[in-house]
Amino acid sequence: MALRVFCPRVMSPSALLLLLPLLLLAGVPLAAAATRPALWPLPVSVQQTPNLLYLSPVSFEITHGLDSSAGPDCFLLQDAFRRYHQYVFGYSENPDVSRMSSSVGTEIQKLLVVITSDSECNAYPNITSDESYKLVVQASVAVLEARKVWGALRGLETFSQLVYRDSYGAYVINETEVTDFPRFPFRGILIDTSRHYLPLKTILMTLDAMAFNKFNVLHWHIVDDNSFPYQSMAFPELSGKGAFSHAHVYTHTDIRHVLDYARLRGIRVIPEFDSPGHTNAWGKGQENLLTACYAGSQKTGFFGPVNPILNTTYDFLSTFFKEVSQVFPDNYIHLGGDEVDFSCWKSNPDVTKFMEEQGFGQSYEKLESYYIQKLVDIVSSTNKGNLVWQEVFDNKVKLNPQTTIVEVWKGSYYEKELSDVTAAGFATVLLSPWYLDYISYGQDWRRYYYVEPLQFSGTSTQKELVLGGTAALWGEYVDATNLMPRLWPRASAVGERLWSSKHVRDENDAYNRLTEHRCRMVRRGIPAEPLYVGYCEL
């Protein structure tokens, strides 16, 4: 059995990384068989020996280490232990127990999970959450060590990816040592529940798949022009009139479900309530919120962005965002601010008068700034930070770099934008190259994989302001019928780019690992589409 290097170029100036020979079994051409470990995203350091250890589906257990700060009262870990036991063994229909227990070789009996610091078991993850872990797989007990539960979750995923089945069907794992931590702290998936409603089940499945790929932020673009499915307590008419139908809403029970499900997987949920543009659906349930458009001196009956000149607008926003800040525990709210169409504001005589009074001249960017600043103040008063789309920065709204993160989404010159945003001292998240709704023929995952987020001109201080990125699946052409195969495994390419070392970019190696990773997702119930010709072992 040949010893080959598994991840030879994982090097960074700050860390001495081990380049010991690692085991890589020969791949079966085309077949994406689960006969060798295929780690995705690739950990920072992996060392393996050819020594195989056997796991018995009957007796193997994942449990708390004696010196762990977490114990059986940590539901997050209990639930994760149960889940990962299933992922490791669950997809075999009829495990031949007799054969497995008679496997010749050393058995590994348990995986002990040790949390070494305050566990944060009952907390919600945030941007500073520690996701690092260390995994030592050896006879007869494997140990997963992490400072917080978040790292334990990532390590459990890695452990589950290390287990495979030998040619006799027995569950095996190589002696292994993994040291791992994410390159970027913000690794998001954007879903859009306004262009099409996504049923709860779809969102939960997405969270599962996110955990398989070590994503940690669900950017929930929950409302937009097309529909308002968020059921507000203070303003029930918003969804009462703005949702596609009474069945196409997210109740508070639904949202709690998403939040809990995400937390248990170490995933933050950042809701986006985009304004002042993209708000058509808000207007249906909230009178006078939107700007009435005019043709000459006549109202057209159409409405534009939120009306920024009325006190009632800000009263509404105060109440509404106070509710949102209580419903969603994350300490950030996404305020949108993209693609504001000024034509309706321009047509409205009251707005024109207000512009004159404020001395804004013809600069509707100033009016937009006026609105956003008031909105940011409202949200800041709830002790939340905020994210905004890049236009807010481009239009020179006065923002506080301590509380605002700028999201770069426009396709062209995004390197320049990253450079500008970080030069101004803002933290940033990149989306531009990762609009997964833009489908094309062939293996477009390679394009997403190829992106290097820090390839822009800027100082190291600037680069540290890049918190990460988000793969966006906008909903114009996506609903529950096609979301899963369209998102996975294409988003996985982004997942590795944001987790693994900068130097992990060998496409051939990525192809082999990702092909198997997608089969693993399929076995775990995620209908992830194929990368290319071949098949998955059942």
Residues of this chain that bind other proteins (CB under 8 A): 30-31, 195-197, 199, 201-202, 205, 226-227, 244-245, 248, 437-443, 475-482, 484-486, 522, 527-535, 537-538
CA distance 430 to 447: 15
Nearest distance from C-beta of residue 222 to other proteins, angstroms = 15
Residue 314 has φ and ψ, to the nearest 5°, of -75, -30
Nearest to other proteins of 111, 526 (CB atom): 526
Nearest to other proteins of 79, 529 (CB atom): 529
Nearest distance from C-beta of residue 433 to other proteins, angstroms = 15
CA distance 134 to 354: 60
Nearest to other proteins of 100, 519 (CB atom): 519
Nearest one of 16, 144, 146 to 84, comparing CA atoms = 144
Residue 439 DSSP one-character state: -
Nearest to other proteins of 208, 350 (CB atom): 208
> Sign of dihedral through CA atoms 44, 49, 51, 52?
positive
Beta strands 133-137 and 141-146, pairing class = antiparallel
Nearest to other proteins of 137, 478 (CB atom): 478
Nearest to other proteins of 29, 361 (CB atom): 29
Catalytic residue among 61, 237, 339, 452: 339
Nearest to other proteins of 130, 507 (CB atom): 507
CA distance 25 to 47: 14
Nearest distance from C-beta of residue 324 to other proteins, angstroms = 24
Residue 398 DSSP one-character state: -
Residue 477 has φ and ψ, to the nearest 5°, of -120, 20
Please report where in the chains the tokens 């390419």 appear, as a residue.
493
Nearest distance from C-beta of residue 299 to other proteins, angstroms = 19
Concatenate the DSSP letters of all residues of 102-131 into one string: T-SSEE--EEEEEE-S---TTSPP-TT---
Beta strands 404-408 and 290-295, pairing class = unpaired
Cβ atoms of residues 86 and 133 within 8 Å:
no
Cβ atoms of residues 111 and 65 within 8 Å:
no
452 as an active site residue: the answer is no
Cβ atoms of residues 282 and 290 within 8 Å:
yes
Nearest distance from C-beta of residue 510 to other proteins, angstroms = 17
CA distance 294 to 303: 9
CA distance 187 to 498: 6
Nearest distance from C-beta of residue 330 to other proteins, angstroms = 26
CA angle 474, 435, 306 (to 5 degrees): 45
Nearest distance from C-beta of residue 125 to other proteins, angstroms = 27
Nearest to other proteins of 20, 31 (CB atom): 31
Please report where in the chains the tokens 């994503």 appear, as a residue.
215
Cβ atoms of residues 180 and 155 within 8 Å:
yes
CA distance 332 to 385: 5
Nearest to other proteins of 75, 477 (CB atom): 477
Nearest distance from C-beta of residue 244 to other proteins, angstroms = 4
Report how far Cα 107 is from the mean position of its chain's Cα atoms: 36
Buried/exposed code over 209-234 (b: 16+ C-beta within 10 A; e: otherwise): bbbbbbbbbbbbbbbbbbbbbbbbee
Give, for 77, the enclosing helix (H) or strand (E).
helix 75-89
Nearest distance from C-beta of residue 242 to other proteins, angstroms = 11
Nearest one of 63, 75, 52, 212 to 143, comparing CA atoms = 63
Nearest distance from C-beta of residue 200 to other proteins, angstroms = 9
Nearest to other proteins of 280, 348 (CB atom): 280
CA angle 507, 137, 88 (to 5 degrees): 70
Looking at the DSSP assignment, which residues form a beta bridge with residue 527? none
Instruction: Indicate which residues carry an active-site annotation.
Output: 339
